[in-house]
Chain A
Amino acid sequence: MKNQIIQIIKENLVEIMPELEGEEISLDETFLDLGANSMDRGELIALTLEKLDLEVSRIEFVGAKTINELAEAVAKFHN
Chain B
Amino acid sequence: MKAGIEAINIYSGSASLDVKDLAKARNLDNNRFENLMMKEKSVPMPFEDPVSNGINAAKPIIDSLTEEEKNSIDMVITCTESGIDFGKSISTYIHHYLGLNRNCRLFELKNACYSGTAGFQMAVNFVFSQAAPGRKVLVICTDIARMSMAEGASMDLSFFEPSNGSGAVAILVSDNPIVFEVDRGANGYYGYEVMDTCRPIPDQEAGNADLSLLSYLDCSENSFKEYQKRVEGADYQETFQYLAFHTPFGGMVKGAHRTNMRKFKKAKPDQIVMDFEKRVMPSLNYCQRVGNIMGATSQLALMSTIANGDFSTPKRIGVFSYGSGCSSEFYSGVATKESQEKIKQFKVQEHLNERYKLTMKEYEDTFLINNELRFGTKNYKVDFSKNSNVFNTIKGKNRIVFSEIKEFHRIYEWV
Contacts and interface: CB of A to CB of B under 8 A. Distances in A.
Given A50-B262, A62-B208, A38 B218 contact: no
B211 A62 contact: yes
Interface of A: 35, 37-39, 41-43, 45-46, 50, 57-59, 61-62
Contacts of B239: none
Interface stretch (B42-50, B71-79, B251-259, B383-391): B251-259
B218 A39 contact: no
B214 A61 contact: yes
B209 A38 contact: yes
A29 B254 CA distance: 27
Nearest to B254: A39
A16 B363 CA distance: 34
Given A37-B158, A59-B194, A62-B208, A42 B214 contact: yes
B154 interface: no
Nearest to B263: A50
Given A37-B158, A39-B252, 7 more contacts: A35-B32, A37-B159, A41-B213, A42-B255, A43-B255, A46-B214, A62-B210
Contacts of A39: 35, 213, 251-252, 255
Interface of B: 32, 35, 156, 158-159, 194, 208-211, 213-215, 217-218, 251-252, 255, 258-259, 262-263
15 contacts: A35-B32, A37-B158, A37-B159, A38-B210, A41-B210, A41-B213, A42-B210, A42-B217, A42-B255, A43-B255, A43-B259, A46-B214, A46-B255, A50-B259, A50-B263
Contacts of B218: 57-59
Contact of A38 (B159, B215, B258): B159
A44 B158 CA distance: 19
Given A37-B32, A37-B158, A46 B217 contact: yes
A41 B156 CA distance: 14
Contacts of B210: 38, 41-42, 62
Contacts of A59: 194, 211, 214-215, 218
A54 B156 CA distance: 29
Contacts, number: 48
Nearest to B216: A42
The CB with the most chain A CB atoms within 10 A, among B208, B214, B217, B255, is that of: B214
B214 A62 contact: yes
The CB with the most chain A CB atoms within 10 A, among B156, B158, B209, B210, is that of: B210
A31 to B, nearest CB: 9
B222 to A, nearest CB: 9
Contacts of B156: 38
A16 to B, nearest CB: 10
Contacts of A61: 214
B332 to A, nearest CB: 24
Nearest to B32: A37
Nearest to A41: B210
B154 to A, nearest CB: 14
A51 to B, nearest CB: 10
Cβ-closest 5 pairs across A and B: A42-B213, A58-B214, A38-B209, A62-B211, A59-B214
Contact of A58 (B158, B209, B217, B252): B217
Contacts of B251: 39
A61 to B, nearest CB: 7
A39 B255 CA distance: 8
B193 to A, nearest CB: 11
Given A39-B251, A58-B218, A46 B259 contact: yes
Contacts of A43: 255, 258-259
Contacts of B211: 59, 62
A56 B211 CA distance: 15
Contacts of B208: 62
Given A38-B156, A38-B209, A50-B263, A45 B35 contact: no
B272 to A, nearest CB: 13
Contacts of A35: 32
B95 to A, nearest CB: 39
